[in-house]
A and B are shown apart, each in its own frame.
Chain A
Amino acid sequence: NAGVMQNPRHLVRRRGQEARLRCSPMKGHSHVYWYRQLPEEGLKFMVYLQKENIIDESGMPKERFSAEFPKEGPSILRIQQVVRGDSAAYFCASSPPVAGGLRAKNIQYFGAGTRLSVL
């Protein structure tokens, strides 16, 4: 059973370009979370998605950032017109569905992250 797969592991972009980060959840998992880790800091929540739905995007910057989790294929975190401050490690986590809405009871399994460097 493969873990959470993120690609690419490293992504280099110049200022103004677009960055697309991909996350394939563990098999059977329908919940995906994105977190950002700035240098020397802990992880900060960005967005929580289920298939075809954004459930909580309260941690996403209002501009340039978007996320999707289509019915087929991986979840995508998209950053338009990147700036140097976007340089960070971006982690994806997944968890399985839970009956009764007790999502938090489930453990979030993390991928290895994508390190974005903006030149």
Chain B
Amino acid sequence: AQTVTQSQPEMSVQEAETVTLSCTYDTSENNYYLFWYKQPPSRQMILVIRQEAYKQQNATENRFSVNFQKAAKSFSLKISDSQLGDTAMYFCAFVVASGSRLTFGEGTQLTVNP
């Protein structure tokens, strides 16, 4: 069974600063995909970034980047130049390449302060 762990229930950051959210996962599979989703107060689930396990290069999307450490089974999200609109619950998620179901962590509530 796959598990995803987010050890930081809550985090806060000042506007324009950088913050890193942690995520670890456990699997015996070698080929899989990792995601970060954002859930703002509207509760809409929004994809932030995706990483394919067979790619060594870390994914980046504008101000969002990941630090993917496959051997350590770690997948952290870095948000640069934080904006007030980044305030949301952030979920790390995992799916094996041969499967379909996403397994989510418990989430990290990020608050960006002005």
How close is B22's CB to chain A, nearest CB, in angstroms? 15
Instruction: Please pick, from A41, A45, A56, A113, the residue contacting B43 in the complex, using a CB distance under 8 A.
Output: A113
Q: What is the number of residues of chain B that contact chain A, defined by CB distance less than 8 Å?
A: 28
Residues on A with C-beta less than 8 A from B28 are: none
A102 to B91, CA, bound (A): 23
- Which residues of B come within 8 Å of A, CB atoms? 4, 32-33, 35, 37, 42-47, 50, 52, 91, 93, 95-107
A111 to B37, CA, bound (A): 13
Instruction: Please pick, from B95, B98, B104, the residue contacting A43 in the complex, using a CB distance under 8 A.
Output: B104
- 26 cross-chain CB contacts under 8 A: A31-B100, A35-B102, A41-B107, A42-B4, A42-B105, A42-B107, A43-B93, A43-B104, A45-B102, A56-B101, A58-B101, A91-B45, A102-B97, A103-B99, A104-B32, A104-B33, A104-B95, A104-B100, A105-B33, A107-B50, A110-B37, A110-B44, A110-B45, A111-B44, A112-B43, A115-B43
Instruction: Please pick, from A55, A110, A112, the residue contacting B100 in the complex, using a CB distance under 8 A.
Output: A55
On chain A, which size bracket covers the interface? 20 to 34
Contact A104 B96 (CB under 8 A): yes
Residues on B with C-beta less than 8 A from A108 are: 102
Residue among B37, B98, B104 with the highest chain A CB neighbour number at 10 A: B104
Residues on A with C-beta less than 8 A from B97 are: 102, 104-105
A88 to B74, CA, bound (A): 29
Contact A33 B42 (CB under 8 A): no
How close is A47's CB to chain B, nearest CB, in angstroms? 9
How close is B101's CB to chain A, nearest CB, in angstroms? 4
Contact B104 A44 (CB under 8 A): yes
A108 to B98, CA, bound (A): 15
